[in-house]
Each structure stands twice: as structure tokens, then as C-alpha cells.
Chain A
Amino acid sequence: MAQVPPMPLGPSAAGVPGSVPNQISIETTIEQERDLQQPGVKADELRGTPELGFWRLALIRFLHHRVATGALIILGVIILAAVIVPIITGDLYRIQDYRHPFKPPLQSFQHLLGTDDLGRDELARLLRGARVSIEVGVLAVVGYLVIGGGLGALAGYYGGWLDNALMRFTDIIISMPFLLVVIAVTAATGGVRLSTVIIVIAATGWFEIGRLMRAQFLVLREQEFVQAAKALGASNTRIIFRHILPNALAPIIVSATLGVSGIILLEAALGFLGYSVPPPEPSWGNMLNQFEDYLLQNQTYLVIFPATALVITALCINLIGDGIRDALDPRQR
């Protein structure tokens, strides 16, 4: 049997007449494949098209999502009002006016949304409460990302005992009633302050993001580009931060956004039970604390306003989260 001599690699081999067709150079193969995929498009034309980055594209897709953009605008107004108005009104939220308790809303310009049982301005209290909710929501989510993201990434990347410990711990937390756990931890750490609430929520709620991060790292760690980076001698830190993390971010961002609304609702439930910020500081939860009295006395607006503010904010955040999901992963529609 005749031995086929090894062909030299390079562009010269492809064009030689009479050469064996399946023994062509790597470059020509790539060119041919490109022609097969997009016939008629030359290589330099492909390079010439302006390329939009992943995040730019996602932003454009998000802005095309009308509901999500609307929700973003509403939430923006709420946040702006919560930040700016208390600067102007100052301590109005805790100034008591015993001569005018239970003033109904839309009666006077001075108290646009009326006053509560101690004559405090309801609008100022609502906005102050918004500040509390947003503060807790954002800071606790940062906690989720730091604890859950960090531990999840380490567990997914290195595996081993850390992974096992994390998973077992998650199993334990998941099977406990979350609300009671948060209450018990808050009580055990002594006193209810805003910082305690934030830390406790962050410390007990991070496991969902932790699991997600772990799953992402488990999948990505085995992919070719990571193997390639490893083969090229990249350090573990570099692989985690430069190669895996950017690819793992999309679902984490969605989960974190939805997490904010979950935290705001949780904080409200805690406040409702009297385990969040102490009075006179208002939060939407502790404004609903006395709802029984308000309903029995027919002061329904004092119940409707905080409850509705809570629902609108949570709804907006959920809609934004869904918009981000669609924008980051158009296949999931």
C-alpha cells in the first residue's frame, strides 16, 4: 500500500492543482465554512459590520419591552421622591399634631394624604417608609450577592467539602420557615435596628443566589474556553473573575432583581409583626401594624396607602426583573 506523504500546511497547499481535496490547509477550511454558512459574504465584510456588545444589545432589548420600561420609570419616580422629598420636609414624618388626628386625604393642601392617629403627615411617612424599604432591599441584596455569590462561586469552582457543606446548609435553611427564622435571629441579636434587619435578611436569604451561582460555575467550569484558559496557564483567580464570572452573571442579575422585591415584602412582613425598624421611624410594614384599629374605626385610607405602595413597588421590581430576563436571554421568552 502506497504511503501518502504528509502535506505541508499553509495557503500554498490549497491552490495546487491535483492536490488531494481533503488535505487542505486550516485557513482555507475556515474560509470555506464561512462561505457555507453565509454564502456571498466575504471575510472582510464580516469583520466590517459594527458590533454591538452584549450589554448594549440587552439594554436595547430591555427598552423595547414597554411594560418593563414603564415599571422602571414608575420605580424611578418612587425612588426619587423617597430620596428628595424627605430632604425638603425634614422631620415632618414624626411631628405630631394632636389637634388634627385622622384628617382624611385630599382635604387640605397641608396634609395632602391626611394624617394618622397621632396627627403625623401620611405622605411624609409613606415617603420615609419608601426610603426604609428601598434601603433594606438594596443593601440586603448586596449581601446576598457577596455571601451567596462568593460561596456559590467557590463551591461550584472548587467542589469538594465546601460544595458539600454549602449544599447541606442550604437544605437546612430551605426546610425552615423563613419568617420565623428571621424573627428568631433578630430577637437573638438583641433589639430591632435597621442594620440588624438588613444583616439578618442577608445572612439567612442568600442561599438561592448561592445555588444559582454554584450551578452556573459547575456548567461553565467544564466548557472549552475555560479548559483553554487553564491550558494556557491562567491562574484560578483569573479564570474565576475574567472567564467564568462574566458569563455567569445574566441569571444572577435577574435573580437579584427579583430578590429585591422579595426582601421588601419580607421587611414589610417583619415590620407588620413589629420586628423591623422601631417607631417613630415609619416603614410600610409597621404602618400596617395597627390595621385592625384603623379598619374598625373606618380610617381605611391609613390601610390602603401603605399596602398599595408596597404592592406597586414590588410589582414594578418584578416586572423590571422579568424585562431584564427577556433582555439578557431572548431564548427564554
Chain B
Amino acid sequence: MTFYVVRRIAVGIFLLFIMSAMFFTLTRVTPGAPIQVGENPRVHQDQVNRRLHRLGLTDPEGNSYPIPQQYALYLGALLHGDLGDSYQYNTSVTKLLLQRLPNTALLLGSALVIALVIGIPLGIYAATHQYSKLDMTTSITSYIGVSIPSFVLGIYLLLIFAVFLKQSPLHWGFPLFGMHTGGAEDPLDLLYHMVLPVISLTILEIAIFSRFMRASMLEVLHQDYIRTARAKGLAVDRVNYKHALRNAILPIITLVAIAIPQIVNGAIITEGIFSWPGTGQLAFQAVVTRDYPVILGVVMLVAALTVLFNLIADVMYAVADPRIRY
């Protein structure tokens, strides 16, 4: 087990290494200079050179480094936790990411928890009451949920809650592109601003979780040991929730691990739409302004998280299911 974990971590680091090389080359061959001020005659050439040198693009005299050398510099800085400087914000990418990570974690964490709390019981109920009305409703809703991308859902939600309901006498209006600025000091305001983005991220995950849980539960319910337990005369609920559930819920661990990068992906546009000041919005703006160090930083962060969560999922799976040995 220890050996397995160590090996997985080594492989993970290797993957991140290759990935950073690929993505780094990609962003560096992209046309477009990082700073256009060089064309401004009022800026001294020395200053431009100093700035380009600080970005790791040229030597102090202003001669551009070849890409492998740029990458070596980047990698050296990366080992010190430095992801380079943003073209746009004039601060380090690490600082930007760390600033915004708590916001994203809050948004994604609550979306994930809500999706699990709603999706899993829904899936269990749908499986134990197959072809019931709720089962049918769940599967139809989950079809629609899977077919709506989170940004379209976000737009629909803004349409309903911020435009239509703002005109209603009840005045339900949720903020239309209003950014949350209150910080953690005003939890009610924070909650108010979280409602729409969390819903738009949750729906898809609820659809996925409930569908998966239903399929997994149905598969277990058709196994021999369940029939044996029923034949022994155990109560149906006891069989369902004690014998079947334990085995059916195990694959969810893997699903959650896969879901995390998926939500992060969805969050890029969702945070942009709802002006939620997280890493997703950072990436969204970086995409619009072509701020490649920031995009690279977000990609590295997401990739590292994916590798990490996959590892955690595999270890947890082995702990939860004694049949699995590494």
C-alpha cells in the first residue's frame, strides 16, 4: 500500500511535469507579445527590457530566450512555488491564485455537498422504487440536466431570478452581475450571492450522481446475497439500507473524485457569468485578455488537484472495500 501510494505520487509528478512542458510550449508559441508598451515611445526601452526579463522571456539586454530556456526558468521558479507573473495584473500568479482559491473552494465545496446530499438519496429512492413516479421524474430531469451546459443554465437562472422575478411584486431579484464584496463579515450577503452560481453548478452534478447511484444500487439489488438476505426474512428496509447500500455507495467515491475537476471546468464560465471572484473567474478573464501565465497557472492547479483527488479516491476505495488490494 505504501509502495503503491509512493509510486502513484511519483507518476503524478511525472505527469504534471510533462503537462507543464506541453502547455508551456503551447502558450509560448502563441502569437501576441505579453506587453505592448514597447511600442509606446514614452516608455524607456530599458524599462521594457527589465520587465520582459522579469517575466522570464528575455535576458537583461532584451534578447529573447529560446523556449526550452524559458521553460527551464519557469520550472525552476515552479519548484519554489512561483508560477510566474501575470501579464495583466503585475503580481505573481501564485498570489492571485491563493487570493481567489478560498472563494472557489467555498463555491465548489457547497455545490458538491448539496449535489451529494440531494443526488444520492434521490438515486437510492429511484432504485428501490423502480418505475415509480419519482423514479421517472428523476430520470427525465437528469436527462435535461445533463443536456444543459452550466453556462446556459447560469444564463437561464439570471433570466428568471434577476430579470423576470425582479419585476414581480415580490421582488425576488437576485443580483444581476453584482459581485460579492462583503467578504466573510456579512454571511447573509455572501449566501445571497452564492445561491444562483451554486444552483447552476449543482444541477448537472445532481443529475450525474442520481443516475449513477440508481444504476449502482440496482446492480447490487440484483445480486445473490441480497436475495439470500431477503429469503432469510429480513425486513426490506434493513436489506436495502444495510446490506445493499454499503456496496452500492462505494463507486460514488471514484465518481466524486472525477466530478471535482469537472466542476472546476464548469466553474470557469459559471464564475465568469456570476462575477464570483474565484479562480474560475480569474481564468475566464485571463482567457478574454490572453493572460497566458494565469491560464497556465490555473491549468497546473486543476491538474494537480485532479491527480491528487484521483489518488485519494483510490486509497479511500481500498480502505472502504477490503476486497481491493494494491
Contact = CB atoms under 8 A, between A and B. Distances in A.
A and B: interacting chains: yes
Interface of A: 168, 171-172, 174-181, 183-185, 187-188, 190, 261, 265, 268-269, 272-275, 288, 291-292, 295-296, 298, 300, 303-304, 307, 310-311, 314-315, 318-319, 322
B149 A269 contact: yes
B192 interface: no
Contacts of B269: 179, 269, 272-273
Contacts of A288: 152, 155
Contacts of A184: 23, 26-27, 30, 292, 295, 299
B30 A172 contact: no
A311 B299 contact: no
Contact of A187 (B146, B163, B290): B290
Nearest to A174: B306
B152 A311 contact: yes
A172 B18 contact: yes
Interface in B4-24: 15, 18-19, 22-23
Contacts of A269: 149, 151, 269
Contact of A188 (B27, B149, B152, B302): B27
A35 B91 CA distance: 82
Contacts of A272: 151, 269
A180 B287 contact: yes
A273 to B, nearest CB: 6
A180 B299 contact: yes
A261 B147 contact: yes
Contacts of A274: 288
Name the 6 nearest CB pairs between A and B, nearest first: A175-B306, A315-B147, A314-B147, A188-B30, A265-B149, A175-B303
Which of B15, B144, B269, B284 is the most central at the interface, judged by chain A CB atoms within 10 Å of its CB?
A: B15
A171 B15 contact: yes
> Chain A binding site: helix, strand, loop or mixed by DSSP?
helix
16 contacts: A172-B19, A180-B283, A180-B302, A181-B23, A188-B26, A188-B30, A190-B31, A269-B149, A273-B269, A275-B287, A295-B162, A300-B159, A303-B159, A314-B147, A314-B148, A318-B147
Interface residues of B, number: 46
A291 B151 CA distance: 11
Interface string B50-91: 000000000000000000000000000000000000000000
A267 B178 CA distance: 27
Interface stretch (B99-107, B118-126, B239-247, B260-268): B260-268
Contact of A179 (B31, B146, B268, B288): B268
A307 B152 CA distance: 6
| Residue among B22, B264, B284 having the largest count of chain A Cβ atoms under 10 Å | B22
Contacts of A322: 143
B105 to A, nearest CB: 16
Given A184-B30, A269-B269, A288-B155, 15 more contacts: A174-B306, A177-B303, A180-B302, A265-B147, A269-B149, A273-B287, A274-B288, A275-B287, A291-B158, A292-B177, A296-B176, A300-B164, A310-B149, A315-B147, A318-B147
A272 B287 CA distance: 12
A296 B146 CA distance: 28
B188 interface: no
Nearest to B150: A269
A322 B261 CA distance: 25
Contacts of B158: 291, 295
Contacts of B287: 180, 183, 273, 275
Interface of B: 15, 18-19, 22-23, 26-27, 29-31, 143-144, 146-149, 151-152, 155-156, 158-159, 162-164, 176-177, 261, 264-265, 268-269, 283-284, 287-288, 290, 292, 295, 298-299, 302-303, 306-307, 310
Nearest to B163: A295
A172 B15 contact: yes
Contact of B261 (A175, A307, A310): A175
B108 to A, nearest CB: 13
Contact of B303 (A176, A179, A291, A296): A176
Given A180-B295, A298-B163, A318 B18 contact: no
Nearest to B284: A273
A248 B162 CA distance: 49
Contact of A178 (B148, B149, B265): B265
Contacts of A291: 155, 158
Contacts of B164: 300
Contacts of A187: 30, 290
A293 to B, nearest CB: 11
Contacts of B162: 295
Nearest to A311: B148
B129 to A, nearest CB: 17
B176 A295 contact: yes
A273 B292 CA distance: 15
Nearest to B22: A172
A296 B284 CA distance: 21
Nearest to B19: A172
A307 B155 contact: yes
B259 to A, nearest CB: 13
A126 B300 CA distance: 37
Contacts of B143: 315, 318-319, 322
A107 to B, nearest CB: 20
